[in-house]
Amino acid sequence: MLPNLAAILVFSYWPAIYTIVLSFMDWDLVAPMPEWAGLQNYVDLFDDPDFWTIMLNTLVFTTVTVVGSLVGGVLLGSLLATKVPFTGMVRTFAFAPHMLPGAAVGMLWLFMFDPSFGLSRFLFNLVGADSPQWTTTSDWSLAAVTVAYLWQRLGFVTVIYYTAILDLPGDVLEAASLDGAHGLTMLRHMVLPLLSPITFFLSVTGVIAAAQAFDLISILTNGGPGISSSTLSWMIYEEAFQKFDIGKASSAATVLLVLLLVLTFVQVRFGEKKVTYAS
């Protein structure tokens, strides 16, 4: 265990601790040493009106992608588990987006969102409407990033649910079927409670992953126009490597760390009460 423990300490815990220390410093990457700034970075961060807009973007993005992937994943996983024709091929296609690099997914959706030549234009033309300017207007930029990220994660969630559904106790489901439970009734009252440990796991990891999303934002919108599609992870990058304000970037990273710790605690503390581990 020692090599693994050493790797975790060096590459996970130490950077987190050092980031917290830097959040109390004033440093622009040019000065040889950071200077003590106390709580000034946090004061500047919380006084910045853009910060609260970015926090709202992060909340909307995380909520929609996590809830959307859970709902879509359990429905698609249940469909695949019914042994419809070409299940294997559909399962492969569903999981494929998760295997693609974020940059490749971003370029793919950048083309599909193109209002002149992309798939978006074709679909909107079917209903006699013009395609929105997905990535270049503040009204649609966050939606574009959300759709692309949801598409990428949906395959992973679907395959996890599909595998879990196949492992459900057949005798319990058969007894429920004999009692008249079918379709959505079976899904709501039998399948979903039995899948609660998987849902709990996917919700915790989904929140953490969504809060750290970066590559799709970089490819699709660069956080813009303005800050319309910026999330907290993008703000950290922008403050550190575009504005060279390491102190403010570190304070934003510390806020993100604290938020993830609190959300994870709440999920574990209250979500686990509704989890059914018995098979």
pLDDT band at 272; cut points 50, 70, 90:
low
Q: How does the average pLDDT of the chain come out, rounded?
A: 86
Is 151 among the domain residues? yes
- Domain annotation covers residue 15: no
Comparing 274 with 193, which gets the higher pLDDT?
193
Tell me if 20 is assigned to some domain: no
**Does 170 fall in a domain?**
yes
| pLDDT for the residue numbered 54 | 95
Is residue 135 assigned to a domain? yes
**Region 191-200: what's the mean pLDDT?**
84
Is residue 242 a part of any domain in this protein? yes
| Domain count for the chain | 1
Written as six digits, the tokens of 239 are 């403050």
Residue written as token pair 């300490």:
9
Q: In the predicted model, is pLDDT for residue 131 greater than 90?
A: no
**For 83-117, how does the pLDDT look when each residue is reduced to its tens digit (9 = 90+)?**
767 777 777 777 888 888 888 899 999 989 988 88
Averaged pLDDT, 33-38: 89
Residue 249 lies in a domain: yes
Q: Please tell me the predicted confidence (pLDDT) of residue 224.
A: 85
| Dihedral angle over CA of 210, 16, 50, 228, nearest 10 | -30
Preceding peptide of 85 cis, ω within 30°: no
Q: Whole domain around residue 109: which residue ranges?
A: 49-274
- For residue 111, give the CATH number of its domain: 1.10.3720.10
* pLDDT surpassing 90 at residue 144: yes
Between these two residues, 21 and 197, which has the higher pLDDT value? 21
Whether pLDDT at 11 is above 70: yes
| pLDDT above 70 for 276 | no
User: Which segment of 15-29, 139-153, 173-187, 229-243 scores lowest on mean pLDDT?
Assistant: 173-187
Q: Where are the alpha helices (DSSP H) in the chain?
A: 2-8, 14-22, 40-47, 49-80, 87-99, 102-112, 119-126, 141-166, 170-178, 183-186, 192-194, 196-211, 215-220, 232-241, 246-266
Examine residue 85 and state whether it is found in any structural domain, yes or no. Answer: yes
> pLDDT at residue 143 above 60?
yes
Long-range contacts of 138-141 (CB under 8 A, 24+ apart): 138/224, 138/225, 138/226, 138/228, 139/228, 141/220, 141/221, 141/224, 141/225, 141/228, 141/229
pLDDT (mean) for 208-224: 90
Could you tell me what percent of the chain has a pLDDT over 90?
43
* Confidence at residue 175, expressed as pLDDT on a 0 to 100 scale: 74
Angle at 140 between CA 131 and CA 100, to 5 degrees: 90
Mean pLDDT of 134-143: 91
pLDDT at position 50 is 93
